[in-house]
Amino acid sequence: MTTVAVVGLGKIGLPLAAQYAGKGMRVIGCDVDQAVVDAVNQGQAHIREEPGLEEAVASAVRAGRLSASADTRSAVGEADVVVVIVPLIVAAADAIDYSNVDAATRAVGRSLRRGALVVYETTLPVGTTRHRLAPMLEEESGLAAGTGFHLAFSPERVYAGRIFEDLRRYPKIVGGVDEASTAAAVDFYRSALDAEVWAVANTETAEFAKLAETTYRDVNIALANQLALYAASRDVDVAEAFKAANSQPFSHLHRPSLGVGGHCIPVYPRFLLGDATNGELSLVREGRQTNDRMAEVGIGRLERLLGGLEGKHVLVLGASYREDVKELAFSTVFPIVELLHRGGAQVTVVDPLFEPVELRGLKAEVARDAGAVAGKHVDAVVVQAWHSEFRDLDWSRFEGLKVVLDGRGSLDADTVRRAGATYVAIGTPEG
């Protein structure tokens, strides 16, 4: 039986561990958080929002195929395969903090077995696996990458809320530091997943593939935002125009919005820009700048429609970076709330996925239920993440509602207008 050590039991690492155990492998999940380790060993998933995860963890633990440990070195010492999926932190100033990945790498290297396979799934800048992580593994283990142990990169390509589905759906991209490493990683994933496994030339190609696919989405959203702003002054119905354009199979315009959040889309283009030189990737840079300023564009529009923000009560629906996912990473809610405060508005944030204490960093009034605000005076509503719980919202219950800013293009404009409010979104005419 293949023994796999999964280093990092977060939102992706724990589903991966459960997936491998479900394929009959013996899996040891490693995490520095003892509470996470204890929960897994009791057959419990500390992540509650992922469909099928709680059942998969409980089943794997009962069968004796999944356990957890805070001792990475000990777990790696038993493993034929080590999958590293720990977070790479990016600060607001775009500085990359490798400390988690470096610490995990050194722990892996100290007890790495000869002939073992190490695969990184954490998204990394191009060249990181070969030029940063391989030397650490070699230094700690005394083994050479490619001969003493196999080393590969295989990007995670899953979406929170449907991870098991995506593991079946999308081809698994694999690139090693040499041909033998690529082959070893391909063999592992073919036994661990139901999806196709695609071998690419090397680790750099696999690293770049992930950055390219996420950067495509960022630039696409920036294009949608720029087109929407252009169309707003030219009597164009942007939603209808995009739908019409996308009826042609080579057009894939995304929705315009107040910005881009999450661990991936607003972050990974910066990995490319970090070592771009001599004007390289100017389109990527401009796309990032466009998306970063959309919150300011939207709140500026709201301010004009209200005749100023000073003293106005503004309700923000959704703190998450996207609908139906409990995650704040790079969420547009932060610049939105800051801009509203700067204008003098009184701000209330509603998100049913979070306890109010979890949103205290917003420095705004927080509620879990929009019903708690209905019946009170609200001058404007900003839709930041259109959770399922909001979809039956009765706009007429908000006393004094003047404007609804649809930051995600999720609403039926006529429903808002029937409640007596002005509907506005990125791309609706100023007049």
In the block, residue with structure tokens 């139906």: 324
- In this structure, the answer to whether residues 260 and 354 fall within a common structural domain is yes
The secondary structure of 330-379 as a DSSP string is T-THHHHHHHHHHTT-EEEEE-TTS-GGGGGGG-SEEES-GGGTTTSB-S
Q: Which two tokens stand for residue 104?
A: 């995990």
Residues 219 and 120 in one domain: no
Position 127 scores a pLDDT of 98
Rounded to 5 degrees, φ, ψ at 112 are -65, 130
Per-residue exposure over 131-164, b if at least 16 CB sit within 10 Å of its own CB, e if not: eebbebbbebbebebbebbbbbbbbbbbebbebb
Q: Is 11 a known active-site residue?
A: no
pTM summary value: 0.93
- Output the CA–CA distances (angstroms, integers) from residue 110 to 74, 106, 186, 305, 367, in the order listed: 9, 6, 25, 61, 48
Helix axes 294-306, 333-342, angle to 10 degrees: 40
Let me know whether 157 and 210 are in one domain: no
Residues 6+ apart with CB under 8 A from 128: 207
- Domain hosting 27: range is 3-200
Confidence (pLDDT) at 90: 81
pLDDT value at 304 more than 60? yes
Tell me which of 11, 264, 312, 326 is the catalytic residue.
264
CATH number of the domain where residue 115 is located: 3.40.50.720
pLDDT in tens, 325-368: 999 999 999 999 999 999 999 999 999 999 999 998 898 999 88
Residues 23 and 106 in one domain: yes
pLDDT tens-digit map of 75-114: 999 999 999 999 888 875 568 899 999 999 999 999 999 9
Instruction: Inform me whether the pLDDT recorded for 425 exceeds 80.
Output: yes
> Which tens digit of pLDDT belongs to each residue from 388-417?
999 989 999 899 999 999 999 999 999 999
Same domain, 217 and 343: yes
Number of separate domains in the chain: 2
Strand stretches in 19-93, DSSP E: 26-30, 66-69, 81-84, 89-90
Q: Are residues 357 and 278 in the same domain?
A: yes
Catalytic position from the list 11, 172, 210, 326: 210
Same domain, 138 and 213: no
Residue 264 appears among annotated catalytic residues: yes
**Does 106 lie in the same domain as 71?**
yes
CA angle 165, 209, 219 (to 5 degrees): 90
Measuring CA to CA, which residue among 11, 66, 8, 58 is closest to residue 32? 8
Same domain as 241, residue 157: no
Give the chain's length. 431
Q: Which residues, in sequence order, are CB contacts of 240 under 8 Å at separation 6+?
A: none
Rounded Cα–Cα distance for residues 117 and 184 (Å): 7
172 and 141 in contact (C-beta within 8 Å)?
Answer: no
Q: Of 13, 12, 137, which is closest to residue 73 (Cα–Cα)?
A: 137
